[in-house]
Chains A and B, each alone.
Chain A
Amino acid sequence: MQAQQLKLFQDITLQYFAKLAPGEPPAMEEPFLQFGELAGRDFTSLVAIHSEYDGYLYLSAPRPMLRELLAVNGEPEVGEATLRDMCRELSNVLSGNASQAFGGNWEISVPFTLDHEELARHPLPPSAFVMPFQWRGARSLLVVALAPPDSSSTSIPLRGGQDVGPQIAARGAASAPAAARPRGAVVYQLKRPLAELPDNLRLRNPRMGRAFRGHRRAQLRPDRFPARPCARGARPGLRPAARLRAARRKGAHLRRIPAGARHLARRRAAAAGRLPARRPGHAAARPAAAPAATPRRRPAGW
């Protein structure tokens, strides 16, 4: 890691906040080194990096800062879900900044977010370069945590010695043995609920979002979630007009007749005397039910 790369990463991360509030740029404090547990803030946005060093870049922000970010972005609702969404947005920003600053021989993972308890449980490298900054009265931490270079080169070593998450399964990549993967390859395995998908998979219309998530789920894990055939023969992520056009191209309108049109066709056929015979199970073909022999009575005691 070069000093200019770290400086660039720091600058473009701070510029994100400066652009949101031009009159209130963030104030950088003196950096320091932390060995052992670092007191993280309420929500943390992380990106795993891999090159000559393995480690994480993360931004740990308190709730007041996330509330300010929501206010700047015009989000009226402030709750756990929206705070977490804002943290996910920050993790996407962090990922983009890391790719811009460290792109080249550094591999950047998919970003993910953790709250305070999850961060305490998540294994991180034992030493960290911490760059605190203040924005709108809230103090956040921009951290570079790297593991010693003598440790395993394909995984991020932990304090506990286990192999680290976060990973999202690529199709077929997770099943490849570790020896077959090229050195430095980053393999992602889905270890979190599918409900927590990145922002770019969530669409404005929740119905479209559900359909798209199901489609995306079938793409990511075809062994667990086989793709269901769409009734209209088109991809579920399309808008209704585009979906209809795609279905017409496939001839779906020739195979299906709406129920109302079927009923209308029967009435026209009945009027013209061309109605086919009723099927044996039809209600009109069954004999009328015989009346009950004795009238029904309420049981004693009612």
Chain B
Amino acid sequence: MQHILARAGDQQAGQLDIYRVFIRINTKLLQRSGITTLRFQDDRLIEDPELQQAIAASVEKALGFPARPRSTSDE
């Protein structure tokens, strides 16, 4: 989410882009991982590989750039 917000430049545009990404994801996948409410300042770790793939595919389809994997240098 921080990557999308940073690319958008404007905070509200970035939040809308994040919403566009998550619209395309099946809510059952999100609810299975315990995500029913998502705040933009949240920092969540997703361990479900199916959900990870869905998010990556949705970012690429909705925004046109690949989702940046989180590297160990971000810790």
Contact = CB atoms under 8 A, between A and B. Distances in A.
Interface of A: 1, 3, 6-7, 30-36, 53, 126-127, 129, 144, 146-150
A36 B36 contact: yes
Given A126-B27, A127-B27, A148-B24, A33 B10 contact: no
Contact of A3 (B13, B27, B39): B13
A32 B31 contact: no
Nearest to A33: B38
B27 A35 contact: yes
B18 interface: yes
B68 to A, nearest CB: 20
Interface in B15-46: 15-16, 18-19, 22-24, 27, 30-31, 35-41
B12 A127 contact: no
A35 B40 contact: no
Contact of B19 (A33, A36, A147, A150): A33
A91 B10 CA distance: 29
Contact of A36 (B24, B27, B39): B27
Contacts of A1: 16
Contacts of B8: 3
Contact of B16 (A6, A32, A127, A148): A6
Contacts of A53: 23
25 contacts: A1-B16, A3-B8, A3-B12, A3-B16, A30-B40, A31-B15, A31-B40, A32-B37, A32-B38, A33-B18, A33-B22, A33-B37, A34-B36, A34-B37, A35-B22, A35-B27, A35-B30, A35-B31, A36-B27, A36-B31, A127-B19, A144-B19, A147-B23, A149-B23, A150-B24
Nearest to A150: B24
A127 B40 contact: no
A25 B19 CA distance: 27
B70 to A, nearest CB: 20
Contacts of A150: 24
Contacts of B18: 33
A33 B13 CA distance: 14
A1 B10 CA distance: 15
Contacts of B41: 30
A35 B13 CA distance: 20
A149 B40 CA distance: 22
Interface centre among A1, A32, A147 (most CB of B within 10 A): A32
Interface in B44-71: none
